[in-house]
Amino acid sequence: MTKLEKIICEVSRLASNMYRLGWDERNGGNISRIIDDDEIDGFIDVNDVKRTIPIAFDASQIAGKMFIVTGTGKYFKNVEIAPQTNLGIIRICPDGKNIDILWGYEDGSKPTSELPAHLMTHIERLKKDSQHKVVIHTHATNTLAMTYVHSLDEREFTKTLWQMCTECIVVFPDGVSVLPWMLCGNDEIGRKTAEKMRDTRLVVWAQHGIFGTGKSLDEAFGLIETVEKAAEIYIKIMNMPRINTITDEQLKLLANAFGVQVHEGYLD
């Protein structure tokens, strides 16, 4: 199996996993991963362009980069069954306003409608971390529920999550950014998300879902998974008197013990 075939399998398995978790109903959610030149590994001919289509965003900053991206309107439960239909490999054209389809989308479809948000996020995360590769958007159930009953203040939202489980401040010490409800699938939400990604690797879309990023599919999924576990605990206990909690001093002890840099100003 080539490197690229392994990546296609990893993305397919992740899509199935998130569907089984109930996070990606119907055609909800999307995944994109940067494909490096050395990962092509002869599986596709990069000179064999199947189609060229316009995109609603100037991606010239990442011209030439290749991505594997879930398709628009595609059900995550079907990705593992037919990856060549539900996924595609794209390359950003030199003008930044078009993409070449190099593989996949065999039924004539195209990348997710959230592609602008993904590409904008990739651009910002690459500025922060040259090893960045992955963007995942999913409708994690308890995280979504939390946005209905908790303040959307980023410091308060983050601290509540940190207090729900000892590992949280270690896994996402940079915290969680939060956007109020916005119309999805357009440049505005993409820009706002990318702006937040300058400071955090996680952005919650109120009443919608969450964006997570990372150096690998496992890292990006693991971030979202940890937030979702913390949100589930919060939803279960929110109407009960809280007799015990993880204090700010204990959170500081955790951060020091694991050598992580905590978001400035989030701990008293």
d(CA 67, CA 102): 10
Smallest CA-to-CA distance from 66 within 35, 20, 105, 21 is with 35
| Rounded distance between C-alpha atoms, residue 23 and residue 209, angstroms | 9
Distance of CA 214 to the CA centre of its chain: 8
Amino acid (one-letter) located at 64: G
Backbone angles phi, psi at 25, to 5 degrees: -65, 150
User: Does the annotation count 114 as an active-site position?
Assistant: yes
Cβ contact 171:251 at 8 Å:
no
What is the b/e burial string over 95-105, where b = at least 16 CB atoms within 10 angstroms of the residue's CB? ebeebbbbbbb
Helix (H, G, I), strand (E, B) or coil at 60: helix
| Distance from C-alpha of 253 to C-alpha of 128, rounded to nearest angstrom | 26
DSSP state of 61: G
Check 114, 124, 154, 228 and give the catalytic one: 114
Closest residue by Cα to residue 161 from 249, 207, 227, 242: 227
The alpha carbons of the chain give a radius of gyration, in whole angstroms, of 19
Write out the DSSP string of 227-266: HHHHHHHHHHHTTS-------HHHHHHHHHHHT--PPTTS
Instruction: Report the first-to-last Cα separation within the chain, whole angstroms.
Output: 51
The set of catalytic residues is 114
